[in-house]
């Protein structure tokens, strides 16, 4: 700057040459580092928000802020060191400071040195502020939850119990209670079409995951094990991947079996092996479910009711149905199916119902003739 002023004052041409060289040098430096400085400033803004939040939250008179108090002053001091006075209040002044004085470039290099030296504080601050933020978000979420409880730990067990559990994403969820695993068995869940078997599995899965991750369930009371939860809720064929429905189901079954070999876990399975004929579906389902249940707790829903006696030694039969006008989970296997009655909704002249009824009666006599004779097949 002194050279420029002197050149203007004296009009001496050599000084103008020196001034031009210096000006070109400043422009070259600015062009070389401007993008890096701008990108770094965005990161500094984020760091500034973090440090300001650290210092502000530490001032709360609440136990949740206690972990932030020991170095709140250091966080505030670091924030002030990294802060750069904005010159945008005077038009053109910001650009003048950057292009003539290299203000942004000098701040870029100086602040990087400070940040590098203070990385331990920044990392620790990030972790603790994130923890406080997560705790506050969780408390806010639970304050608006329809119901929740802190889950008791079922230490050493694979079973669980949920009392009046709901799925929080449903508009008007029906609370359901179930207890699984007291006798070492999982559960075979049956029920009419549309009654809510899949919703029950999703409700169980979500509550088990939130219990393990955060310690609470969307229920009035809960006892849950500290076990991983694996699910197979939806398998589809895909034209793009060239994989049929049954192949997708076989692949997922293989993945679950591999996970079971790692140790105890909870497996939630909805309508296993739908992509093949009935006989092979039942056979494959029985083999896979029996093997999974050897090392974990299995909950499976299926319309293949013959699986209930086949898997009786591994899975206790539960039925989702209306008892006394209320949807509940009770013991036993579905007796009153509704598949044919739903078909009747598109049967204008009754011919469909008559044909389907005759086939059903013919097959039912054979299919259910000796349900108890299959209990030992998997021994």
- pLDDT single digits (tens) 121-144: 999 999 999 999 998 899 999 998
Q: What is the pLDDT of residue 300?
A: 96
pLDDT digits (tens, 9 = 90+) for 324-345: 888 999 999 988 888 888 888 8
pLDDT digits (tens, 9 = 90+) for 169-207: 988 889 999 999 988 999 999 999 989 899 999 999 999
Does CATH place domain 150-337 in 3.40.50.300?
Answer: yes
Q: How far apart are alpha carbons 349 and 344 in whole angstroms?
A: 9
Q: How far apart are alpha carbons 379 and 370 in whole angstroms?
A: 18
Q: How far apart are alpha carbons 3 and 19 in whole angstroms?
A: 6
Q: How far apart are alpha carbons 183 and 250 in whole angstroms?
A: 29
Q: How far apart are alpha carbons 233 and 271 in whole angstroms?
A: 8
pLDDT digits (tens, 9 = 90+) for 202-239: 999 999 999 999 999 999 999 999 999 999 987 665 56
Are residues 168 and 145 in contact, defined by beta-carbon separation less than 8 angstroms? yes
Q: What is the pLDDT of residue 54?
A: 94
In sequence order, the 6+-apart residues with CB closer than 8 A to the CB of 214 are 138
For residue 204, how many other CB atoms are within 10 A of its CB?
A: 26
Where along the chain do its domains lie? 2-143, 150-337, 341-379
Do strands 216-217 and 152-153 pair parallel, antiparallel, or not at all (unpaired)?
unpaired
What's the predicted TM-score (pTM) here?
Answer: 0.76
Of 168, 152, 150, the C-alpha closest to 160 is: 152
Structure tokens at 192: 């009419």
Residue 184 exposure: Cα atoms within 13 Å on the Cβ side: 4
């Amino acid at each position: 700057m002194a050279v420029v002023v002197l050149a203007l004052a004296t009009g001496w041409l050599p000084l103008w040459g020196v001034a031009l060289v210096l000006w070109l040098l400043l422009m070259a430096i600015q062009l070389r580092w401007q993008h890096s400085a701008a990108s770094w400033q965005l990161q500094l803004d984020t760091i500034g928000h973090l440090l300001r939040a650290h210092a502000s939250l530490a001032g709360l008179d609440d136990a949740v802020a206690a972990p932030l108090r020991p170095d709140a002053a250091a966080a505030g001091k670091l924030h002030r060191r990294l802060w750069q006075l904005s010159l945008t209040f005077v038009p053109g002044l910001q650009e003048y400071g950057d292009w003539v004085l290299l203000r942004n470039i000098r701040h870029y290099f100086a602040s990087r040195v400070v940040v590098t030296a203070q990385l331990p504080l920044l990392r620790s601050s990030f972790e603790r502020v994130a923890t406080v933020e997560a705790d506050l978000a969780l408390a806010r979420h639970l304050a608006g939850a329809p119901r929740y409880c802190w889950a008791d730990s079922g230490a050493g067990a694979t079973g669980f119990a949920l009392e009046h559990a709901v799925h929080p994403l449903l508009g008007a969820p029906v609370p359901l209670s179930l207890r699984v695993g007291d006798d070492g068995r999982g559960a075979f869940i049956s029920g009419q079409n549309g009654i809510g078997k899949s919703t029950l599995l999703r409700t169980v899965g979500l509550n088990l995951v939130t219990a393990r991750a955060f310690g609470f369930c969307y229920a009035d009371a809960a006892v849950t094990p500290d076990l991983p939860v694996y699910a197979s809720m939806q398998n589809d064929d895909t034209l793009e991947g060239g994989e049929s429905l049954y192949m997708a189901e076989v692949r997922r079954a293989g993945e679950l079996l591999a996970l079971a070999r790692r140790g105890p876990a909870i497996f939630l399975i909805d309508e296993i092996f739908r992509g093949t004929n009935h006989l092979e579906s039942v056979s494959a389902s029985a083999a896979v479910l029996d093997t999974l249940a050897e090392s974990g707790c299995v909950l499976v829903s299926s319309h293949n009711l013959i699986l209930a006696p086949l898997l009786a030694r591994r899975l206790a039969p539960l039925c989702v149905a209306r008892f006394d006008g209320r949807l509940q989970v009770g013991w036993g296997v579905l007796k009153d199916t509704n598949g044919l009655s739903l078909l009747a909704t598109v049967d204008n002249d009754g011919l469909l119902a008559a044909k389907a009824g005759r086939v059903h009666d013919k097959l039912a006599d054979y299919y259910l003739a000796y349900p108890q004779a299959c209990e030992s097949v998997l021994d």
